[in-house]
Chain A
Amino acid sequence: MAVCVAVIGKDNSPLYIGGIGNDTSTDNELSRQWLVHTALDALEERLSTTNTSNTNSSANTARTDLRDLYLGLLYSTDTHKIYGYVTNTRIKLVLVTSSTSPSGSNIRDAEVRTALRRLHALYADAICNPFHLPGDQITSQKFDKQVKSLMLNNV
């Protein structure tokens, strides 16, 4: 399903970027990073609009915490679709699907939502590791393996 999955910290630094590609050459990695990095624009825009609309009425502040973490489709290019998810601690999860492959283009929104929730859980597990330093890149092999299988499972 997904061709790339990224975990981005609250200061917008990348914590994990994993992708499934035919090759792992620099060009592929580079385009993947560009894609995820530019998705931050849409993410931030989405976050700032939800914030401003909610701060208008103070009663809604509680609702901000309860809002759906899944942001849905952020934008799509000719080749990719990019979905976003923001955790309560402002960790951003990005999932990229390919619009050219049949499995990627026909994906349902609910599937993406489930996948991102699952990724959130995996991330939470990974940082629960006491030997992980918060803010550091996630180097856990187990996490990497699980994320890769998450991406592949749905293909």
Chain B
Amino acid sequence: MTAQPSDSTEFPPEITLKPLALIGLSGLDTINNAIHKTIWDAFSNNRRLDRASVQFKLLHNTFEFPVIKPKRNSYEWYIPKGILKKNWIPKRVSLIPAVVVIFYDMEWNDPQWNEKIIECASRVQSIRAAVEGHATRVAVVVVQSGLSPPPSEYMLGAERAQVLCSACEIQSKSLFVLPHSDHLMGYIVRLENAFYDIAQNYYHHETKNIKQHRDHLNKTTHQYLFVRHQFKLGFLNELKQDLSTAHKHYMHAYNNLLETRQVDTNIHEIRTVAGYINYKLCKLLFALNLARDAIAQLKSHIERYKNRIGPTELLFEHYAWIARQYSAFGELFDEAIGLGLPAIQSQHPGFYYQHAAQFTVKRRQAMRSVCCEALQYPPPPDPMEGIVEFYGQRPWRPGRLSADPHDPQKEQAAVLALQYNERVFNHSGMIISFLSSAITQFKTFHSPRMRKQLVVEMANEYYYCADYGKALTLLTHMLWDYRREKWWFLASHVLNRALQCAYLSAKIQDYIQLSIEALSRHIQVPNNDKDRIFRNVMSVLNLNIPAPEPDLPASSQSRALELWQMAIEKEPMTVIIDMMNISSFLEVKTKFTQVKYRMDDTIEVELFVRLTYNTTLQAKAVTLTIATNTETIEIPIVDNETSIVKLEGDKVKRFSCQFKSNPHDIGSNLSIKNVSFILDNERRRKVIMNFKIEENKSIEPTIHPELLHFILSPKSDYEYDCIVPMNTTSITSRECRLSIEIENAVPALQGEWFPTTFKVINNEDSLVYDMTIALSLLSSPDNPNPETVTELSFKHGEPQPQPLKFQVGNVDKASTYSNTFFLKTNRTATATVQLRVTYNIDFQETPKLQCVKDFTTKITVIKPFEVSTKFVELSFMPITKCFVDDPFIVMPEIKILSPWDLLILDTELETVDCFGYGDHKKPTSCISNLQVAEKNIASDAISVQAKYKPKDPPTRVGLYNIMWRRKSNTCGHCVMSTTALSGIAIEECPISIEVNYPEVVELMTSVPLKCRLTGRTDVPIRLSLTVEGTDTYIFSGYKKFSVTVPPKDKFELCYNILPLVTGNTIPPRLKATVLGDNTRQEVITEIFEKNFPRNIFVMPKYK
């Protein structure tokens, strides 16, 4: 909570404090007795919010209760002298406890029990005597050591407690035992709650008493008492913490007060009391979480009392009172928010503080109109002296109720005293304080603009109380925002006030800056007198005192002159103004004439200046600051061969300057950083106007040049508006006159070392020297990270680290340099090779200029051939699977894709584990030393057999290596390409069959057909064999019989067959049926099918 400024309207502390039930603790010797001290501390210290709403007061023996007033039996003749007595609340909150608790040290088994009980009873009696007349409750706490009594003594305890109660004449529920050993805090909290209950009971009783009075009252004479009694009821209920009942009674009090007759003499009292009751009402409503009702209550309260002005000579009191209502409410609201009440942008405490400030302004106005004659305090006797018994009564006529002033002279003196006090009151301080509270709130509740307005009001307040420095600081900060949002009217208002402050405080820097901004075409100045402001700037430049601003407070003018006399010839001699942040009378645009410059070009910068204020401005020097990444250079602008630049009002002037770039800056950017105008009249003081150009600040075009074409009568500065500033440029190296010729036989083949010959030709006008060539691979979308799969080298077959660097040395004019590099890649994509040629060349103006030229060449890489695989059985019939130990043929087919003729030198197949060569040794290649051309297909054949059946079907048979080279390449380096050949399924068969038969036989000639069955498993296999005869053969041997193929052994069958016809014949075939376990039937049928000849060619018999 912010501290509120104080004045006579401030609420007394007893009103603003939260009422807590008062409980007196007696018999605690906190100074000498450590245990008592602990108990007291436990009661009184570190009270958290969750503990009972009570307040403890330590009663000493000397404590005196307020004397009770005699009970009034009849109100018939009683006329109240005021509404609320000032001492009633303090009595309730600090003098009359609801409960007095007597602490007494005593053990139940105390040896001197009888003496103890007498002493305790006498203490109770003395307290009773002291509170005589009040209904204060009495309770006794027996403080014990807390050693838990054994069960046998429990009876004794109960009995003695009973005795103690009767001795002290208290009820047994008012007797408490406090063991002080362990868990003291727990006991204390329980005791506290018990006391709180008693206290509530007491306050309830008190309210009953007050309610009884009501019947005796009548409306004509006792209207004040209606208010007073309801207020008391409200307050007692608050003590009892019955907030809604309290609110009800306060509301009655408030309404009763509204009904009282109001005259000039009691207006102050009614207003004051109404304010207090309203405060209580709002506070309770916030506590009851009825914030809307609280706001409505305040609104209706203000509405009701807004027009109850009272005597006009004390009008300021009325406004002071309203301001206080608002500020107090703001505080309550703020407190409630602190306790968790949500507030929104349109309803928060800031508005109430703002109202408080506004009414304080009105209060000041009222003071100015009514207090003009109160030039001094009235002579003694001081009317303000005197003790007032009631809230809001006047000290010079306490307790008087009649409407007419009884002593006009005294009344007049009193009014004068009040007026004088008001005259010397620091209104500005109060307004500033309210405003600062409001500003904080508006900031919290997302109202930056409202906040700004209040800050400006605050600055005005500082201005009125002649604190120009503070006002200036606030105003210059606010100016920034209004300028940014282009609210020029508001900005002008702020700026003019700031300029007044700057003048009055003689702050040269601020004065010059604000004056220059005031000359902007956006700013309106009083009387439209910009010439005066311009003259003032020139005066300060010439070390003369400027003319005062209009409408200055007369009292400050002479002081300002003194300040200027002191300041004018002192620092700051150089006034630097950042023009980009203010709106001013100068506008600047800069532009490089080109986006890019070559190293040997001359860089040109154009500078356009527009002076929007109609005058002639002479700058002693104008400089342009340009930054490179190594240095910052300043270039003076020269206009007609002099550095003095003259600008004319409402005209655009163009300047240009040229310079050469530094060889260090190749590849970097140049940017214009700053344009400075220096005003200097040779009188020691100068003004530097800096236009800082920020790169990252995106220049939002507020004017769209393309739209300006539509304007019927072009503005005079049409061209200026169309200029698009260009503040950065880049420097590239000079154009390099080297060329290159590339010679190679593309496409390159995958895997080969591909030679490329390049020839660098020097077309420069002179010798170039220190030439180096760097070769590197460029990545492209279809070939990222080319260096991982591609090798570069200057030597065939030996990869070298990339990039390849090569020192060439000197190359004469018009001569050439050539070399060959090799490229080997495993990826069939286009490889891009960059050749960066770096060299030095001498020129007249820049000796040893380094030049760089990049050349690129693209090399397409293709596959030399494609390999596909076929699997065939020994009879060259295609197969899709093979059997263990059953040889078959792998036929790799090499399809040539290369446009160049190739020579296949050799091939080989490296089988994987589960395959072996059919002939048990590596066969020689069938296609070695074969010359092939594009689209040829070279077929190889290798006999292979499966050794065993692996767990998973093999993915490949093996790796097929092909040694090859280009036919044209005779130097002997060959390339080895490796391809994986696809796999074939392997099956196991329990037997293997070998059939021997002649492929060609003669007609009518008997030939043997031998068949050997070999068992491959550990168990014998029984087969039933049948011979399927044909018409073309007759045969001898068993036609149908069963055999047992022994495990790991052979069984041989032998037939003789005799062909009967010539030509292709089908010989008799054996068919087998497995006897027993026929799960293998299928595979056995298959292997028989496969191994028995399907045809035999029969020749006619030679005769």
A residues adjacent to B (C-beta < 8 A): 11-14, 17, 29-30, 33-34, 37-38, 40-42, 45, 74-75, 130-131, 133-135
Residues 470-492 of B, flagged 1 when their CB comes within 8 A of A and 0 if not, give 00000000000000011101100
Q: Does A41 contact B707, Cβ atoms closer than 8 Å?
A: no
Residues 36-52 of B, flagged 1 when their CB comes within 8 A of A and 0 if not, give 00000000000000000
Pick the contact of B485: A12, A17, A38, A74 (CB < 8 A). Answer: A12
**Complex contacts, A41 vs chain B, CB 8 Å:** 345, 446-450
User: Is B969 in the interface zone, CB < 8 Å from A?
Assistant: no
Pick the contact of B345: A17, A45, A131 (CB < 8 A). Answer: A45
User: Is B34 in the interface zone, CB < 8 Å from A?
Assistant: no
- Complex-state Cα separation, A133 to B711, whole angstroms: 8
**Complex contacts, A40 vs chain B, CB 8 Å:** 449
Shortest Cβ distance from A135 into B: residue? B702
**Complex contacts, B450 vs chain A, CB 8 Å:** 38, 41
**Complex contacts, B843 vs chain A, CB 8 Å:** none
Pick the contact of A133: B345, B486, B703 (CB < 8 A). Answer: B703
**Complex contacts, A33 vs chain B, CB 8 Å:** 487, 489-490
Whole-angstrom distance between the Cβ of A134 and the nearest chain B Cβ: 7
User: Is B659 in the interface zone, CB < 8 Å from A?
Assistant: no
**Complex contacts, A74 vs chain B, CB 8 Å:** 346
* 18 A–B contacts from the bound complex (CB under 8 Å): A11-B486, A17-B489, A33-B490, A37-B449, A37-B490, A38-B449, A38-B453, A41-B345, A41-B446, A41-B447, A41-B448, A41-B449, A42-B447, A45-B446, A131-B710, A133-B707, A133-B708, A134-B707
Q: Which of B700-714 contact A (CB under 8 A)?
A: 702-704, 707-708, 710-712
Tell me if A's interface is mostly helix, strand, loop or mixed: mixed
**Complex contacts, B345 vs chain A, CB 8 Å:** 41-42, 45
Count of interface residues, chain B, beta-carbon cutoff 8 Å = 22
- Complex-state Cα separation, A13 to B485, whole angstroms: 5
Q: Does A38 contact B447, Cβ atoms closer than 8 Å?
A: yes
**Complex contacts, B490 vs chain A, CB 8 Å:** 30, 33-34, 37
**Complex contacts, B489 vs chain A, CB 8 Å:** 14, 17, 29-30, 33
Shortest Cβ distance from A133 into B: residue? B707
User: Is B493 in the interface zone, CB < 8 Å from A?
Assistant: yes
**Complex contacts, B493 vs chain A, CB 8 Å:** 30
Can you list the 5 inter-chain pairs with the closest CB atoms, starting with the nearest?
A13-B486, A41-B447, A38-B450, A130-B710, A12-B485
Pick the contact of A37: B487, B702, B711 (CB < 8 A). Answer: B487
Q: Does B703 contact A131, Cβ atoms closer than 8 Å?
A: no
- Complex-state Cα separation, A12 to B448, whole angstroms: 13
- Complex-state Cα separation, A8 to B448, whole angstroms: 17
- Complex-state Cα separation, A33 to B345, whole angstroms: 20
Q: Does A11 contact B346, Cβ atoms closer than 8 Å?
A: no
- Complex-state Cα separation, A41 to B486, whole angstroms: 16
Whole-angstrom distance between the Cβ of A120 and the nearest chain B Cβ: 22
Whole-angstrom distance between the Cβ of A96 and the nearest chain B Cβ: 15
- Complex-state Cα separation, A33 to B494, whole angstroms: 13
Seed contacts A13-B487, A42-B346, A133-B703; 12 additional CB < 8 Å A-B pairs: A12-B485, A13-B485, A13-B486, A14-B487, A30-B489, A30-B493, A37-B487, A41-B345, A41-B448, A74-B346, A130-B710, A131-B711
Whole-angstrom distance between the Cβ of B201 and the nearest chain A Cβ: 47
Whole-angstrom distance between the Cβ of A143 and the nearest chain B Cβ: 18
**Complex contacts, B708 vs chain A, CB 8 Å:** 133
Whole-angstrom distance between the Cβ of B831 and the nearest chain A Cβ: 46
- Complex-state Cα separation, A133 to B486, whole angstroms: 16
- Complex-state Cα separation, A119 to B159, whole angstroms: 92
Whole-angstrom distance between the Cβ of A136 and the nearest chain B Cβ: 9
**Complex contacts, B711 vs chain A, CB 8 Å:** 131, 133
**Complex contacts, B446 vs chain A, CB 8 Å:** 41, 45
- Complex-state Cα separation, A42 to B704, whole angstroms: 31
Whole-angstrom distance between the Cβ of A119 and the nearest chain B Cβ: 20
Whole-angstrom distance between the Cβ of B704 and the nearest chain A Cβ: 7
- Complex-state Cα separation, A77 to B645, whole angstroms: 54
- Complex-state Cα separation, A75 to B445, whole angstroms: 14
Whole-angstrom distance between the Cβ of B712 and the nearest chain A Cβ: 6
Whole-angstrom distance between the Cβ of A20 and the nearest chain B Cβ: 17
Shortest Cβ distance from A30 into B: residue? B493
Whole-angstrom distance between the Cβ of B492 and the nearest chain A Cβ: 10
Residues 664-705 of B, flagged 1 when their CB comes within 8 A of A and 0 if not, give 000000000000000000000000000000000000001110
Whole-angstrom distance between the Cβ of A128 and the nearest chain B Cβ: 12
Q: Does B486 contact A37, Cβ atoms closer than 8 Å?
A: no
Shortest Cβ distance from B715 into A: residue? A133
Q: Does B453 contact A34, Cβ atoms closer than 8 Å?
A: yes
- Complex-state Cα separation, A75 to B704, whole angstroms: 36
